[in-house]
Amino acid sequence: MRAIALKMLAFLALALLGATAPARAGTPHIAPELIAESSAAPGGTVTLAVLMRPSAGWHGYWSNPGDAGQPLIAEWSLPKGARVGALRFPVPGTLLVSGLMNHVYEHDYAVLAELKVPADAAPGSALRVTGKARWLACTDKICVPEDADLALTVTVGQPGARDARFDGWRAALPAPLGSPARFAISGNSVRIAVPLPAAVQLDDPHLFVATDKVVDYGAPQAFSRDGDTVIVELPRGKFEPVVPDKLEAVLRLNGTGDGVSLEAAPAAVPSAGTPLQPAEPKAGLALLLLSALLGGLILNIMPCVFPILSLKALSLARAGESEAQARAEGLAYTAGVVLACLALGGLLLALRAGGEQVGWAFQLQQPLVVAALLLLAVTITANLAGLFEFSVPGFAGNGSPQGAFATGLLAAFAATPCTGPFMAAAMGAALLLPVVPALALFGALGLGLALPFLLLAYVPALRRMLPRPGAWMNWFRKAMAVPMALTALALVWLAWRIGGQWFVAALLFIAFGALIQLTRIGLAQRRGHEVGKWQWASVIALALLFDLLLPATISPPSQAESSILPTQAFSEEALAKARASGKPVLLYFTADWCLTCKVNEAAAIEREDTRAAFEKAGVVVLRGDWTRRDAAISRFITAQGVAGVPLYLWYPVGGGVPQQLPQVLTPSLLAGLASGKP
């Protein structure tokens, strides 16, 4: 009781000091604003945000404020049949004031909630949402209780244009862990076991316990690892601690605010593993760099990289002509690959820092990027087939460092749809590490992708194994136009999947026009004529048409393909419901641009023996389609320690810890899991 009294006195003292704080009449120190993401259909839901903007030097509080404070509380006034769900808070920070630990926000933050629209709401009507918000605004010296009236009008109808800021606000929420945690109370300590892949680095971690009166918020937290489990040890609460039926918390992973939400049940917790030391990230980074290097090396034999191998093969064949030329091309090719990987990685990190939920190969989720790749594939196919010659950037002409550099850029860009062994953990960690080590991982990936070509350039014995240049190269060049043409066809299919039929029609019109113009240029070249300015002007006109016409033709994504397995669309709610059923669950994430995903689906998932085994065992199958950007999927796969697809998770009977399956599935793997013979 004495401890409780001390806590209350400290809190009241801060609040009473606020009475003497200078304040502008009618202007709160934290300004709230109620915002809706979009309009909403009758019976549907729309996300609301209470955007809190603290003045300089002031802060607000998390749902469990810690030793002192008060979070945002909202009392809603709604039309009949409408309701607002629980408030969801972003990952907070820590602030120690006079020995009291506070869970705070010292910057603008958005608290989200779901508004359910009445089913009988008339389309076109306005739904008035009002509420009373209360919170505590503090500095490190004073606190001021504040309140405000919230008001918003939501248009009832089909969801229209959405507020893009909500992507960033959702990104600030803790990602669902996806696996149950455990906690045990022994004596004066609370130990929590959090399942977290070993590849996920912890930089400045902190566990924010949402369940009140369990732990001492201000005490030091001890973190250790036991394989894929993080063990957190905390002293019990000072204020008449309780033993809860479950413990809810948010684990902050790093200093940039990434975190995961978890729910722990009472169970045995292993003893402390290897303590997290400052030196551990360095050792972990070395292993991740090696994984990225090996992952890039393996990309050379992955199906998604095969089309670019035709360009590399011609360069490798020319490498026997001169040792100096071979080395120059090897360095230029490596520079192109590494630069492209660094550029893609830097853009990925910048988008995520801005609140976008994106992952590896994110550019292939954009219809216009796919269109650019298709036009490039058509151009390269025409060049390899001999329809025209284009020595700059020299993809298939005579060897040059400039051509090798351009080929390296293209090779890296073409490799991005793939993830393979070793690579997934490295790319997943790159999304959680600080900028410099994260970029080092992307650079190591590029070096691994370029390594075979670089070794060939610098090891004469390897070059001597190549056939001598000769007339066969022209035949080989034309033969390699076939896989590039098949790549173009695959990109047409992908463009239809993510952009719709009108998008594909417009794109094929532009590609056909470009092909005709390139053929004319080739005819002029073979006759010894100089290519006229009007011919290049027509190419520029096609580029302008590409910019002006294509964006207007993009339509919503196509319907999912039919599946042999009875499959449900992934959502966190669907996963929770499936796990609560007590049945085994297969959760997999795929994308139409991921060739590895499609190979796995044909070889292991879309099979009659898999369907029969799943039907017998009652397996629930959830499928996450990442063909186009999906913030919920991005958050979930990031929480699993990976950066892209494919991702396969097997949840056993009874809701046990999920098993992350290999990225290359064998035909018997899934049927074996369903029958209890993994």
The average pLDDT across 287-314 equals 70
Residue that is written with structure tokens 């022209």 in the block: 474
Class of the domain covering 567-674: alpha beta
The boundaries of every CATH 2.60.40.1250 domain in the chain are 2-162
Cβ partners under 8 Å of residue 279, min gap 6:
none
Q: Candidates 1.20.120, 2.40.50, 2.60.40, 2.60.98; correct CATH number of 176-275?
A: 2.60.40
Nearest to 488 by CA among 360, 592, 382, 626: 382
In this structure, of 162-171, 246-255, 624-633, the range with the lowest mean pLDDT score is 624-633
d(CA 314, CA 318): 6
Q: Candidates 2.60.120.260, 2.60.40.1250, 3.30.160.70, 3.30.70.20; correct CATH number of 2-162?
A: 2.60.40.1250
Question: What is the per-residue DSSP string for 177-240?
Answer: --S-EEEEEETTEEEEEEE--TTS--SS-EEEE-STTSB-TTS--EEEEETTEEEEEEEBPSSS
- Condensed to tens digits (0 to 9), the pLDDT of residues 396-420 reads 444 577 777 877 887 787 676 565 5
- The continuous run of DSSP H or E covering 9 comes out as helix 2-17
- Condensed to tens digits (0 to 9), the pLDDT of residues 500-545 reads 888 888 888 888 888 887 887 778 777 776 666 666 567 667 666 6
Q: For the chain, what is the mean pLDDT? A: 80
Nearest to 89 by CA among 67, 119, 111: 111
- Condensed to tens digits (0 to 9), the pLDDT of residues 639-652 reads 676 767 888 999 88
Q: Looking at residue 161, what DSSP letter applies?
A: S
Question: What is the per-residue DSSP string for 247-278?
Answer: EEEEEE-STT--EEEEEEEE---PPP-EE--T
In this structure, of 75-84, 195-204, 607-616, the range with the lowest mean pLDDT score is 195-204
The boundaries of every CATH 3.40.30.10 domain in the chain are 567-674
Q: What is the pTM of this model?
A: 0.51
548: three-class secondary structure by DSSP: helix
Burial zone of 280 (CB within 10 Å; 0-12 exposed, 13-18 middle, 19+ buried) = middle
Cβ partners under 8 Å of residue 27, min gap 6:
none
Q: Is the pLDDT assigned to residue 381 strictly greater than 60?
A: yes
The average pLDDT across 437-456 equals 87
- Condensed to tens digits (0 to 9), the pLDDT of residues 94-121 reads 988 766 789 999 999 999 999 999 999 9
In this predicted structure, what is the pLDDT of residue 279? 36
Q: Are 386 and 478 in contact (CB under 8 A)?
A: yes
- Condensed to tens digits (0 to 9), the pLDDT of residues 313-365 reads 555 555 455 778 778 888 988 999 899 889 888 887 777 665 555 566 666 67
Select, from the ranges 97-101, 233-237, 605-609, the one with the highest average predicted confidence (pLDDT).
605-609
d(CA 66, CA 210): 9
Burial zone of 521 (CB within 10 Å; 0-12 exposed, 13-18 middle, 19+ buried) = buried
In this predicted structure, what is the pLDDT of residue 87? 96
Sheet containing 83-84: order of strands: 30-36, 45-54, 109-116, 83-84
In this predicted structure, what is the pLDDT of residue 383? 79
The average pLDDT across 244-248 equals 92
Please state, for a pLDDT cut of 90, what percent of the chain lies above it. Answer: 26
549-554 — which CB contacts under 8 Å span 24+ positions? 549/506, 549/510, 550/367, 550/368, 550/371, 550/503, 550/506, 550/507, 550/510, 551/368, 553/499, 553/500, 553/502, 553/503, 553/505, 553/506, 554/367, 554/499, 554/500, 554/503
As a whole number of Å, the end-to-end CA separation of the chain is 55
